[in-house]
Structure 1
Amino acid sequence: MAAADSGPTLNPGTAESEEETILYDLLVTTEWPPETEVQPRGNRKYGASFIITKAIRDHLLFFRQYIWYSPAPFLLPDGLVRLVNKQINWHLVLASNGKLLAAVQDQCVEIRSAKDDFTSVIGKCQVPKDPKPQWRRVAWSYDCTLLAYAESTGTVRLFDLMGSELFVISPASSFAGDLSYAIAGLIFLEYKGSAQWSAELLVINYRGELRSYLVSVGTNQSYQESHSFSFSSYYPHGINTAVYHPGHRLLLVGGCETAEVGVSKASSCGLSAWRVLSGSPYYKQVTNGGDRVTAVPKTLGLLRMLNVKFYSRQGHEQDGVFKMSLSPDGSLLATIHFSGKLSIWAVPSLKQQGSWDQNEQVRLLGIITLSSVSSCSTHFIC
């Protein structure tokens, strides 16, 4: 029998070059035109009564803040302020189920659904114009039925899926222009203590002050403060970010690095884990593998504050955790630091699995596959 004719041979180099030249179409689903500011009726903004009222109010605020009561300024880390101010004003926040998208604009928050590829708006939340829009924060509830919106002043507004404002939670204290009262962590927890409440909302500002609120929607629409907690003993310079791991009931907190001896690698990098408890003290720091993690004494906290000033005078910026993201299976935590360093940690042990400085990262933007440090291949978007 004659041998069958062999098919055309492919040159591997040619096939590879052809694959590299494939072009993909990017479809524009939605475009947002610039928002126009709504002027008050009659343009009263520049009326005589407005000018007189503003002059009296500004003088009273100045007297209260700088003469009658002058609080000590809370200095946020230079790296945090620099990176947050470089962010764009708008935010896109996807719900945990991947079916809802919150598009945070200057004066509204659009809620879009995946049913029509996020082309139509199912709800629109009206919000006041924020003088520091980069410092706003938005979070979805665990069941994706509520949306929390935090202003740079620390004020939190709660909306439903139709965009209706349910209620406004004012901060316990705040001063104009003080960004330490802005929200570093806005987290919904499932609440099972009573059928009266729909969810628990954790509000954590950059000072490290946490307040828990129980929220109820529907017929008995209301909220009440549940408890408060402070991370200041552990983070004298405040916190930078926080995420929640529902599987382990862990609150993962990121702050500035420390040079203390006898602490774990995670603690030295500014990372800590806190078990969420049902009763007082409500949060307990988790230590594993004999890590010696102790509260920072006030005297040591003062020395560390002076150390930060010394760093800034010498031109060396103190590093710290800027952003955190959990892997889809919750087994790994990725952290981005002020310096651009990328670190991967195991959860819940917080054992470091890998760390790459900015000059060591092959691609600053892209997908980093970490199959060598995990039993399953996990992808993080940097």
Structure 2
Amino acid sequence: MRTLLLLAAVASLGVPAPDLQPGVDAIHALGLPGAQARLVTEDGRHEVATSGFGDLATGRPVPPDGHFRVASTGKAFVATVALQLVGEGRLRLDDPVERWLPGVVRGNGNDGRRITVRHLLQHTSGIHDDFPDYTTEADFQRHRYDVYTPAQLVARAVAHRPDFKPGRGWGYSSTGYLLVDMIIERVTGRSWWTEVEHRVVRPLGLTGTSWPGLSPLVPRPHARGYQVFETGRQVDVTEQVVVDPEAAITSTTRDLNTFFRALLGGRLLRPAQLAAMTRTVPVDPGLAEILPGARYGLGLFQRTLPCGGVYWGHPGGGAGYVTDSGVTADGRRSVVLSVNGVLGNAPEDFIRQQHAADELVEGALCGAGGAETTRPQQG
């Protein structure tokens, strides 16, 4: 049922790590199937804690370094590649979408000539999101292996009028990041995942991170992923084709810690591009209720630490898994949490689950050693 591993990479004279076990136990106690978390301290020590079940049918526990779908946490990978291309002079943040994808964003008030790459990365494009979303168990079972092309998904979005004029509001849009994927492919002549793999995964040695393409499977070992539909019970949704490309990325808590530490530590982006990534705008009031105090940069959320300063990361939820992450502004202390299910579909369910995750993440980052107190950049 529960596991606690403390892996010392340095002598015990280093900064002590807080105990993650109460946090993952509290998340499981809410009624969620299971959870795993990994903290990496300033001196490189790892603490891993798990709680609950990796398989509700067999009672198998959550594996301590199991694979999971990262969901929207994958946007941080895509944004990193886009900003690397900016640093190389091959792409500009102020390039209009029309320059790279002529005629793709057009109709019903949508205009790719007025939407920039920056708008897409910062969720300020106004492009409506209309990815398939199954609210009943029968719908999920019927459509779990459906495949959509990027063109089909963009067409669904531009069939709606924009939610607001570009740059005049904030609205989470996975379609916007799908367009960034397409722009990366147009700029480089290679698939977006090939670029992520070449520029991020291989250089950082992220051996537990992969992209399944159209495969419905999650690499082993893994906790099975669950979703709550209209019946209120946890339904096993592990096996499915994930429509949102970067949401299908699978990883581990070890790899995501390595990625976020490298990103905020300046190992993946030049200073100008990292500064652009961490220049933030307010999120919409609805999301702010779930993520209090959140602001958004380019592929990263900024949150305020109760012990002072800010932290960065990108949550993700869907396809049976919910991911939360946090790294201090200097990239030296980080934590990643994966939960293999959700409480329900009501707003209060999301808020309860997110607030429990926040307590674990913020408690880990505010442990001995404190937090980086760099003043946040605001756009």
Q: TM-score of the superposition, structure 2-length normalised?
A: 0.24
More helix by share: 2
Select the structure with the greater relative contact order (CA < 8 A; seq sep ≥ 6): 2
Structure having the higher Rg: 1
Q: TM-score of the superposition, structure 1-length normalised?
A: 0.24
